[in-house]
Each structure stands twice: as structure tokens, then as C-alpha cells.
Structure 1
């Protein structure tokens, strides 16, 4: 690897870190190319030698956010095996509560994962889709134990539905929107919801 390439890689990393800090402090709306250029000591035009556009930059920040979420979920499920219905439901509860805590502790970066919209005519690159979809493997493992006869496509759909249910409660709770679950009760209600779903998914004897 040449010195020019190494320097460019370091600048790109600095740019992504500066963007991450800006989003963390001010939200997605606070991400300004001119401010980033000043932060890393380059011209405004030079930013687009490091990333294709601002969409790519936001996705690269999102990649770092997803990596931290992945690490948190891996830690929450470490040593757990979905060998019985109770264990599987316990895993789902641990995953849901970890997700809720991560959202609260990384609020602006977490919001950006869902608020960001690609420019008109652009599509999310395959690498970003792959990273997003990888998160569902944590939900799929216990769902397979709860629904051993279900097909993989059905389990995939169910994992998305379960995520949507928990995500919706988290969004309303953290945003304190109308009919939101009060923040102090949020985790308790998430656990109650997931346990009710787990019970409903457990095959009858």
C-alpha cells in the first residue's frame, strides 16, 4: 500500500469519525460538509475524494453504529442457548432490552439508522443491506427454537415483525410521543410484550 493510499485511508477514517461525532451531538440534520472539512483540515471538495457523497458517509457512520450494536447483542446472548422454550424467550427478552438500552445510550446515532434517506434515484449499497440484515440472526436463533416446524422464510418474516413491535415501543418511548410508554416503565413493558409473544409462539403440548 502506497503512502498516498494510506494517507487517504486515514483521512477517510477521520472524516467518518468527525461525522459520527457531529451526528451524536446534533443529529442527522446537524451534519454539514463544510463543518466536516474544517474539522479534518481539508477543502470542501476534498471530502468527495474520500467518499462518493454524503449518503455514503452517513452509511459508513451507520456501519460503525451497527457494529457496536452487534457487539452489545453478542455480549447479551453470550453463553445463552435457546434449547427450551423458556430459554428461547429469555434470549428474546435479553435481545430486546439490550436494543432498548443501546437506543437510549446512542440516541442520535440510532435515530440516524432509520431517519436517513438516500438521494432520489440512489439505492442502499449491498454491503450496507448485508450489515443491517445480519442483526436479525440474533432474533432468528431463539425463534427457531420456539417454532421448530416453521420454514426459514416464515421465521425471517416473524423476526422482522417481532423487531418492528419492539422497535415501535422503543421509538415512541424514547421520543415521548403521544400514547408512548413512560420512560421509567419502558423496559418492563418491553419484557412483558416479548414474554407474551414468546408464550404465544410456544407450541402446544
Structure 2
């Protein structure tokens, strides 16, 4: 790597870190290119030699957020023992870890879902792949409860949507924010009901693929 390339990489890292701080402090609306340029000591135009555009910058920050979220979910899952009964406990632990991460990193977490590509552009494949990678924390425990891959993949998304919705609404100040303990209790009830329902339902496929 040449000195020029090394300097560019250092500036790029500084830019992403500065963007992360800005979003964490003020949300996505707080991301201002001119302020970032001033903070890292470069010209406004130089930013676009470091990233393609602000969309890429937001996605790079999101990548860092997802990495930390992945670590939090992995740690939660690792604390759960193996076995059919514990699969539900693992799902609960992962869901509660997700809620805790969202609360502790509220603006960065919200940005993962609020950001839209400028001009309706498509999210790059690398970013999509990182997002989908998170589902393995749900799919893994569900493999014990729901052996069929097609059913499991569908329920993975449904379960994530359910927990995410509870967390998003529970943390929304514009509505009625739910105290942390009560929010965690509601999440655990939801996940346990779904998990125990899988164990007790003799023909899950009939529920997933019923035709009118």
C-alpha cells in the first residue's frame, strides 16, 4: 500500500467513525457532509473520494452496527444450553438481546431501518448479505423446533418481524414508551408462546400453507 493509499484508508476510517458518532447523537438527520469534512480535516469534495456517496457512508456505519449486534446476539445464544427445551430459551435470549441492543443504540439501530437509498436505488449486495446474516440467530434454534427448511425460513422472518415490531413500538416516544422490564416481559411471552406452540402443534405445515 502506498503512502497515499494508506492516508486515504485512514481518512476513510475517520469519516465512518465520525458519521457513526453523528448518527448516534442526532439520528440519520444529523448526518451532514460539511460537518463531517470539518471534523476529519478534509475538504467537502474529498469525502466523495472516500465513499461513493452518503448512501454508502450510511451503509458502512450500518455495517459496524450490524457487527456489534451480531456479537450481542451470539453472546446471548452461547449462554443457552443445547436441546429441544432450550431452543425456546435461546430464542428468548436472542430476542431480549435484540431489544437491549436497540435500546442502548437507539439512533444507530433505527438508522438500519429508516435509511432509504437516494433516488430509489438498490441496496448493494454486500449490505443485503450482512443484514440476512442476522437471521441465523433465529433459524438455528428454530431448526430444532421446525425441521422443514421452507417453513423454518418463513417463520424466521415472521418471528423477527413480530419481535422487531414490539421493540420498535415499545421504544417509540411519540406513542407510549414501555418501561424496559415490561417490554422484556412482553417479548418473552410472545416468543415463548410461539415456541411452545410449535412443540404442541402436530401439523405445522397445515398452518403455514393453508389454502382458502
TM-score (norm 1): 0.94
Root-mean-square deviation (CA), in Å? 1.5
Distance 1:182 1:77 in 2: 24
Distance 2:106 2:67 in 1: 15
Q: From the superposition, tell whether residues 13 and 118 of structure 1 become closer, same or farther in structure 2 (CA, over 3 Å).
A: same
Distance 1:89 1:116 in 2: 32
Query: Which residues of 2 match residues 76-115 of structure 1 at below 5 A?
Result: 76-84=76-84, 86-115=85-114
Distance 2:38 2:181 in 1: 40
Three-state SS of the structure 2 residue aligned to 1:159 is helix
Distance 2:136 2:192 in 1: 19
TM-score (norm 2): 0.91
Give the gaps of 5 or more residues in structure 2.
203-212
Query: Which residues of 2 match residues 81-160 of structure 1 at below 5 A?
Result: 81-84=81-84, 86-148=85-147, 150=148, 152-160=149-157
**Matched pairs, number:** 202
1:43 aligns with 2:40: no
Q: From the superposition, tell whether residues 82 and 180 of structure 1 become closer, same or farther in structure 2 (CA, over 3 Å).
A: farther
Q: Specify the alignment match of 2:171 in structure 1.
A: 174
Distance 1:178 1:57 in 2: 30
Three-state SS of the structure 2 residue aligned to 1:123 is coil
Distance 2:159 2:107 in 1: 23
Distance 1:195 1:7 in 2: 51
1:29 aligns with 2:26: no
What is the CA deviation profile of residues 40-74 of structure 1, one whole-angstrom value per residue up to 9, with x for unaligned ones?
A: 00000000000000000000000000000000011
Structure 1 segments of 4 or more deviating over 6 A? none
Distance 2:120 2:192 in 1: 41
Distance 2:201 2:103 in 1: 36
Q: Specify the alignment match of 1:13 in structure 2.
A: 13
Distance 1:178 1:153 in 2: 36
Give the gaps of 5 or more residues in structure 1.
none
Decide which of 176, 195, 198 is 1:198's aligned counterpart: 195
What is the CA deviation profile of residues 174-196 of structure 1, one whole-angstrom value per residue up to 9, with x for unaligned ones?
A: 01454664444100110011100
Whether the 8 Å contact between 1:77 and 1:95 is mirrored in structure 2 is: yes
